[in-house]
Amino acid sequence: MKKLLTILLCLPLCFACQDERKSNSSEEENSLPTETAEVQRDSAQNTTSNSSDSSVENSTIKKISAKDFSGEFQRSDDGKESTSCDCNCLSIQMNQASKLCLDQEENIHIQVKFKQTDASNLVMYYVSGQGKMEGQKDIPWSDFDTDQALATLHFTAPNSFELDWKGFMKNGEIAMDYAVLGKKNLEGNYKRK
C-alpha cells in the first residue's frame, strides 16, 4: 500500500518536470529570432560607426555584377604570391573561353568557359584540353563532359573568390583517374591582380 501511495505521489511530479522542460525549450526557440535580430542590428551599427571596416563589410553585402567577375585573379592561399603567375592565376572572361594551367611541369592546360549562376557565383565548364601525364595513359580529353560543372567560383567580394574544384566528368560521373588534375593547383582563394 505504501508503494502504491509513493508511486501515485511521484507520478505528478515527473509529469510536471517534463512540462517545465518543454516550456523552457519553447521559450528558448521563441527568443532566438529576437537575439538574431539584435545581433544583426548591432553589427549594422558597428559597420556604420567604423568607416574603414564599413567598406569591407559593404563590399561583401552588395550584389556583384557580371562586369565584376571578369579580370585576372591570382591564388592567394598557396604561399606563391608574386608578380608572376606560375600556374596559380585565373583569367575570367565571361564572353569567351579562358586557358587555365593545371600542371606546369607536365604542361597540362585546359580551355574553360564561365557562366553566372546567381549574383555572386560562377560555374566553370570544360571546353578542351591538351597535355598528358608522363608515365601514364593519355588523358581522354574528348571524352570529358562539356555540360557538367568542372568547378564553382563563389565571389565573397568583387575582388576575391573561392574556387571549389569538382573534377572532370565523364558520362555524368566524376572521372576518378583524373580527379586530382586541377584540384591541387586551382582549388583555393583568389584575389584580383
DSSP string covering 34-88, please?
A: HHHHHHHHHHHHHHHH-HHHHHHHHHHHSPPPHHHH-EEEEESSSS--SSS-SS-
3-state secondary structure of 166: coil
Query: Do residues 22 and 56 both lie within one domain?
Result: yes
Query: Do residues 73 and 166 both lie within one domain?
Result: yes
Query: Do residues 74 and 39 both lie within one domain?
Result: no
Look up cell 608515365; give the residue.
135
Split at pLDDT 50, 70, 90, the class of 32 is very low
Of 120 and 54, the one with more pLDDT: 120
Q: Which residue stretches of 91-186 are H helix? A: 183-186
For the chain, how many structural domains are there in total?
Answer: 2
Split at pLDDT 50, 70, 90, the class of 135 is confident
Query: Do residues 151 and 87 both lie within one domain?
Result: yes
Query: Do residues 35 and 76 both lie within one domain?
Result: no
> Which structural domain range is residue 135 located in?
66-192
Least confident of 51-60, 139-148, 152-161: 51-60
Query: Do residues 86 and 53 both lie within one domain?
Result: no
CA distance 28 to 19: 14
Query: Do residues 119 and 80 both lie within one domain?
Result: yes
Query: Do residues 81 and 55 both lie within one domain?
Result: no
Q: Above 60 in pLDDT, residue 52?
A: no
Query: Do residues 43 and 109 both lie within one domain?
Result: no
Of 19, 39, 61, the residue at which a domain comes to its end is 61
CA distance 139 to 179: 12
- The kind and range of the H/E element at 22 are helix 2-49
| Percentage of the residues of the chain whose pLDDT score is greater than 70 | 61
Query: Do residues 93 and 187 both lie within one domain?
Result: yes
Split at pLDDT 50, 70, 90, the class of 192 is very high
Mean pLDDT for the chain overall: 75
Of 22, 46, 61, the residue at which a domain comes to its end is 61
Q: What is the pLDDT of residue 36?
A: 33
Of 157 and 44, the one with more pLDDT: 157
Q: Above 80 in pLDDT, residue 67?
A: no
What residues are paired with 124 via a beta bridge? 114, 151
Query: Do residues 152 and 73 both lie within one domain?
Result: yes
Query: Do residues 46 and 102 both lie within one domain?
Result: no
Split at pLDDT 50, 70, 90, the class of 133 is confident
3-state secondary structure of 121: strand
